[in-house]
Amino acid sequence: MGQLFGTDGVRGVANADLTAELALGLSVAAAHVLAEAGTFAGHRATAVVGRDPRASGEFLEAAVVAGLASAGVDVLRVGVLPTPAVAYLTGALGADLGVMLSASHNAMPDNGIKFFARGGHKLADELEDRIEAVYEEHRTGAPWDRPTGSGVGRVSDYDEGFDKYVAHLIGVLPNRIEGLKIVLDEAHGAAARVSPEAFARAGAEIITIGAEPDGLNINDGCGSTHLELLKQAVVEHGADFGIAHDGDADRCLAVDATGAEIDGDQILAVLALAMREAGQLRGNTVVGTVMSNLGFKLAMEGEGIDVVQTGVGDRYVLESMKEHGYALGGEQSGHVIILDHATTGDGTLTGLMLAARVAATGRSLAELAGVMRRLPQVLINVPDVDKSRVTTSGELAAAVLDAERELGTTGRVLLRPSGTEPLVRVMVEAADIEQARAVAGRLADAVKSALG
């Protein structure tokens, strides 16, 4: 078998790649591995299990619950809730393990399984590797050691999870958001109930779209990957701004009153200034990735805030934050991590904090986001090349050096080999879009010539 765990759990087409048998087997393996690691030592283990509204989540949830209970783990089923809610409840309820069934922003046929360790933190890579190895070992014949009688896990519904999570969100807000009219696009996903409830309790007048999940319509032409409907609704309703989540609500993107998009970099910039003002921006630093817009870095430098850049992926952002004790980090895609209040990206929390800043300052979202100017960014994928030679080709290094000289301090070049395909991604930022396109085109030609 190929590697099951990717950067965000196990994901694939439900009932094809991700089957009930796989979900059950991985859950049993996770219980055994965590028991071996001492996580369950001296007490009866408990797991929190949640899902997004995908139709396939119904049978996959049943498989996960069966696997855990058969391994002697008591299960609290919290139903349809966002990924960050499951992470929060895992910590708040003192559970030993959390499991979320979701494929995030992917299309409906996909689904995924993500495990959380005690405290609601992502499982360490070595534990994921061990779970995969143990699963494979037992899949090919070795019998499980199974409890019987009173040793089997008990399963119960934890209906209080919804209110507990919403109360947490309201409890960490620095101020109320009365007087704001906000459109929420819930992507027909896991936050369809949570997000409107939280914004309403915080005092906003809300209009919701994409908030009627039927198991089949998640992320379908709506949410953070399709902002057209939100832009239209904000302008039509004369709203102050709009917020968009993805299917499992760990992302947040925004739209200002004119319908202009506010991306994750701009949201980070707004929140960084708010947190510094409140004395909460530890190390006077915000964490981004190598794909963060250069305009974000320049804006933060202009405000005297340091920027640390990691590899692409919110897991790398989180690792850097935890290692150095930073409080804020995120990605252009809208994964924003506010580590004092969440162990993962939390789209509802991010949207609430953004609204709180608008309410507290009396300034429009467009004005607040104007702290940074998003530089034009051109991305070209160059296929069918030897991506392993990106860092060793002298010809390519010379082409990159020429491009960097031309762009100076107001532009940037990034060449990245794809993690999954035989291609190289060429990214160029410049103050002028035409210059960015011209430089990116020349670099793409250089990649073909040097690595083709």
Answer for the pair 417, 391: CB distance below 8 angstroms, yes or no: no
Check 56, 102, 104, 224 and give the catalytic one.
104
Place of tokens 């906000």: 182
Looking at this protein, which amino acid is placed at residue 357?
R
* Cα–Cα distance list, 249 to 158, 165, 245, 299, 442 (Å): 20, 13, 5, 27, 39
125 is in an annotated binding site: no
Q: Is 104 a catalytic residue?
A: yes
Q: Are 98 and 87 in contact (CB under 8 A)?
A: yes
**Contact by Cβ (8 Å): 222, 188:** yes
**Residue 69 host element (H or E):** helix 56-70
Backbone angle region of 307, left / alpha / beta, with phi > 0 → left and psi within -120 to 50 → alpha: beta
Q: Is 384 annotated as a binding residue?
A: no
Three-state secondary structure call for residue 73: coil
Distance (Å) of CA 18 to CA 10, 102, 137: 8, 11, 18
Does the annotation list 306 as a binding residue?
no
Q: Give the largest CA-CA distance in the chain.
A: 73
Go through 361-377 and write b for each residue having 16 or more CB atoms within 10 A of its CB, e for each that does not: eeeebbebbebbebbbb
Among 365, 257, 450, 335, which Cα is nearest to 7's? 335
- Rg from Cα positions in the chain: 23
Q: How many whole angstroms separate alpha carbon 274 and alpha carbon 285?
A: 13
Distance CA 183, CA 254 (A): 10
Question: Is 104 known to sit in a ligand binding site?
Answer: yes
Q: Are the CB atoms for 81 and 92 separated by under 8 Å?
A: no
Answer yes or no: are the C-beta atoms of 133 and 26 closer than 8 Å: no
HEC secondary structure over 10-32: EEEEECCCECHHHHHHHHHHHHH
Terminal C-alpha separation, the chain: 30
Q: Which residues of 216-230 are buried (b: 16+ CB within 10 A; e: fewer)?
A: ebbbeebbbbbbebb
Give me the active site residues, please.
104
Binding-site residues for Mg(2+): 104, 246, 248, 250
Binding-site residues: 104, 246, 248, 250
